[in-house]
Amino acid sequence: MPLTVSRASQSFRRILAGLLLVACGIALPAEAQRRTVAQKKQAALTHFATAQKLREALQGKPEAQRKKTDYTRVMDAFRRVYYTAPTSSKADESAQAVAELMVEYGRTFQDEKSFRDAIGQYEFLRREYPGSKYRFEALFTIGQIQREDLNDPKLARATLEEFLKRYPRHALAEQAKETLAELEAEAKAAKAPKKPAARARPEVARTESSRPEPAKPELKTVAAEGPRLPLMTSIRHWSTPDYTRIAIDLEEEIKYEAGRVPNPDRIFFDLHNTKLASELIGKSFEVGEGFLRKIRVAQFNASMTRVVLEVDEVAEYSVFLLPNPYRLIIDIHGKQDQKTVMAKASEPPAPAAAPPTDTPKEETRPKPAENKPDATRELTDAGAATNSELISRKVRATSEPTSSPTFESVSPRPARTESAKGAAKKPPEPPVQGRQAQPTANGERSLIRALGLKIGRIVVDAGHGGHDTGTVGPKGLMEKDLVLDVALRLGKMLEEKLGAEVIYTRNDDTFVPLETRTAMANQHEADLFISVHANSSRSPSARGVETYYLNFTSDPEALEVAARENAVSQKSVFELQDLVKKIALKEKIHESREFANDVQRALHAGLAARDAKLRDRGVKQAPFVVLIGANMPSILAEVSFVSNPTDEKKLKTTAHRQKIAESLFKGVSRYASGLSGVKVASTPRENTGQ
C-alpha cells in the first residue's frame, strides 16, 4: 500500500508539473517527456545556464527600462529547470531564484501580491526540497519580507521565532534574535503614550551648571522618518585561477570604503547608507574557484552593509562604481609566479630575446594608492580578526568613504612549491604554428614576445544588444544588428583561416552587461579581446574608422566616444581615469597599442580600397568600461559612422559587412604573425556566446 501511494504521489506531481508548464506557457515537446532521468538532468543544467544569462541581462538593464514581461521571462526560465528535472542539482537553487525575482518584481512595480507570491515560493522550496542548503535562508527571508516589505511585524515575529525553534544553532540565529529584539522595541515604542508638546516659555538666563543636558536623538525614529535607503539587490561573480570579478548590484549611487585583514586573508567593503534586500540578509556565496573561496554579506549597522571576500594568494584589487544601473565592480588579481608564466609558452624564448635580468613585473606593477586601506593597523592582533568580527563592527575599513575608484597593490608572499600546489597533469597541447616573435613597431620586444607566447583563444565582442540598440542611423539601421553580423563573420574567419578558438560574448540579440563581457574574456583565459562597434556623430558628414585601446586620455573627442559606448555620463567617464592609469599595466598597454595599430591599418586599407575618401581617424586611447580589467591585449574598433547617411546605406549590404570583417581579420592576423605563432584549436567547440 505505501508503494501505491508513493507511485500515485509521483504521478500526481508529474501531472501537476505539466499543468504548471502549460499555465506558464512553457510547453515541452513530446520527446522531452520520454527522456531518461539522466537526459532530463542534463537538459535542466542547460536550462539553468540559460536562465542565469537572462537574469544577468535583466540586472544589467536600468530599472526604469525593465518591464513586467522581462521578469516573467526570467522566472519562467528558472521554473523550466525544476519542471524538467525536479531532482536536478540546480532545482532548489532555481526555486530560490524565482522567489528572489518575485521580491525584486514587487519592489520594482510596488506590487504587494508579488511579495506574498515570493513567500509562497520560499515555502515551496522548503516543502519540496527539505534537504536543500537554501531551506534555512528561505525561512529567515520570509520573516524579513514580512517585516521589511509587507510591514507585518506580527507575522515576522512568528516566523523568526519558528526559525529559532527549528534552527537554534544556525549562523543566522543571532541575527534572528537581534531582529526580534528590534521588533519588540518598536512594539513598545508604538504603545508608549506620546508626550504633549512643551509650551513655549520666555528664555531666561541660566548658568552652565543649571542647563539641562540635551536629549540624545533616537536613531531609529530618525531613520524611519528619513528617506528610504537604497538597497543592495544582488551579487554576481566570475572566477579563473588568477582573476575574479565581482559585481554588487545597487539601487543608487553610494559611498564605500575598502579594507583588508590577513591571516586568513580577507578583503571587505563597507557600503554607506545602504540596506540589504530582504533576500540577501545573512546570505553567503560559496565560490571555491581560483583564489576566491566565499562571499558573505551582512547588515553592518542600521545604515551600512558589509561584503566580505575570503581570498587567498591575492596580488592586487581595484574597485570602481558603474552607473545606469549602479553596480560596484571589484577586480581581484591573483599571483602568478614565473613557472606559471613560462608554462604558457609552448617553446622556450630565443636566446636573443631573453628577458632582462631585472624583474619586469616589479617595474610594471602600479604603485599603491596613497589612500591605502589601513584596516590592518587598526587591529591589535591581525590574526584574531575572525569573520564574525568583520561583520560585528570591530574592524574598520578606510577612514574616508568614497565613490571614486580605488586600487591596492599588495606585496607578494613567497610562492608555494610545485609539490604543495599538487599540479594536475595537463592534456596534450594542440598543434602550434611557431616562429620567433618580432619586435613591436617601436623596435621593442615585450615580455610577451620574449617568452614566445602565442595566440590561441580570441574573444569577439559585438557591442550593445537587446534593449541597448547603440547608435541608430537616419534610416533606422541599428548598431547592435550591424556589429553582431560583422562579429560573427569575423569569428568564422578566425576559426577557419587562423585556426584560433573563438568565444563570442553574444551570438544573438541579447543584452550583455559591460562588466560581464570583460569577465567572460578573463574567465576563458583569452589571448586577445576585440570589441566591434559603429560610430556616431552630431555631424552627418562625419566618416572614417578608428581603433581604441584602454588608457588615460584628456582628448574630449575620445572621451565623447567612450561616454557613448560606456552608456554612462561624462562625469563617470572622468571618474574612471584614475583607475585606468593604475590598472592598465605597461605590458598590456604596449601590446594593446600594437594590436590596435595593426587592426586600424588593415581596417582602413581594406575599406579605402573601394572608397579613397574614407578618413583614417587613427589609433586612440580612452577609458572604455568594456576593456577595463581585461587580462589580455584588448581593443575596441569603430568600423564606420552609422550616423552618416551614405555610409549607412552601404552598411546595410552584405558585401560591405563582409569587407569590414575581412579587414578586421587581416588586422588580427597581422598582429598574431608578429608574435611567435598561433595555437591551433584541437577540437571543435560548442559556441559559448550569450
Lowest mean pLDDT segment, chosen from 356-365, 423-432, 483-492, 622-631? 356-365
Domain shared by 510 and 403, yes or no? no
Q: What is the mean pLDDT of residues 214-235?
A: 60
Domain shared by 395 and 524, yes or no? no
Q: What is the mean pLDDT of residues 217-237?
A: 66
Q: What pLDDT was estimated at residue 16?
A: 57
Rounded to whole angstroms, what are the CA distances from 140 to 30, 169, 552? Answer: 40, 13, 47
Residue 198 is assigned to a structural domain of this protein: no
Q: What is the mean pLDDT of residues 529-539?
A: 94
pTM score of the predicted model:
0.69
What total number of domains does the chain contain?
3
What b/e readout covers 310-335, taking b as 16+ CB neighbours within 10 angstroms? bbebbbbbbbbbbbbbbbbbbbbbbb
Domain shared by 600 and 461, yes or no? yes
Domain that holds residue 54: 9-132
Domain shared by 62 and 106, yes or no? yes
Q: Are 450 and 355 in contact (CB under 8 A)?
A: yes
Q: Are 573 and 562 in contact (CB under 8 A)?
A: yes
Q: Are 317 and 245 in contact (CB under 8 A)?
A: no
Domain shared by 238 and 104, yes or no? no
> Which residues face 638 on adjacent strands?
533, 546
3-state secondary structure 621-686: EECCHHHCCCCCCEEEEEEEECCCHHHHHHHCCHHHHHHHHHHHHHHHHHHHHHCCEEECCCCCCC
Residues 515-528 pLDDT 10s: 899 999 988 989 89
DSSP-derived letter for residue 677 is E
Number of neighbouring beta carbons within 10 Å of residue 365: 16
Domain shared by 446 and 400, yes or no? no
Confidence of residue 555 (pLDDT cuts 50, 70, 90): low
DSSP sequence for 454-489 = -B-EEEEEE--BTTB---B-TT--BHHHHHHHHHHH
Residue 425 is assigned to a structural domain of this protein: no
Residue 484 is assigned to a structural domain of this protein: yes
Domain shared by 400 and 543, yes or no? no
Q: Are 256 and 403 in contact (CB under 8 A)?
A: yes
Domain shared by 408 and 459, yes or no? no
Residues 35-62 pLDDT 10s: 788 999 999 999 999 999 999 999 888 8
Residue 233 has pLDDT above 80, yes or no: yes
Residue 565 has pLDDT above 60, yes or no: yes
N- to C-terminal Cα distance for the chain?
A: 50
Domain shared by 470 and 378, yes or no? no
Residue 423 is assigned to a structural domain of this protein: no
- C-alpha cell, 542: 562625419
Q: What pLDDT was estimated at residue 451?
A: 42
Round the average pLDDT of the chain to a whole number and report it: 77
Residue in the block written with cell 564574525 = 388
Which of 132, 149, 170 corresponds to the end of one domain? 132
Mapping DSSP to helix (H, G, I), strand (E, B) and coil, where does residue 547 land? Answer: strand
φ and ψ of 638, to 5 deg: -100, 105
Number of neighbouring beta carbons within 10 Å of residue 92: 23
- C-alpha cell, 467: 534593449
Q: What is the CATH number of the domain that holds 261?
A: 2.60.40.3500
Residue 347 has pLDDT above 50, yes or no: no
What gap in Å lies between CA 507 and CA 312, rounded to an integer? 35
Q: Are 628 and 550 in contact (CB under 8 A)?
A: yes
Residue 359 is assigned to a structural domain of this protein: no
- C-alpha cell, 225: 522618518
Residue 151 is assigned to a structural domain of this protein: no
Residue 169 is assigned to a structural domain of this protein: no
Q: Are 317 and 408 in contact (CB under 8 A)?
A: yes
Which residues, at least 6 apart from 335, have a Cβ–Cβ distance to it below 8 Å? Answer: 242, 313, 314, 315, 412, 413, 415
What gap in Å lies between CA 631 and CA 332, rounded to an integer? 11
Domain shared by 672 and 590, yes or no? yes
Number of neighbouring beta carbons within 10 Å of residue 433: 15
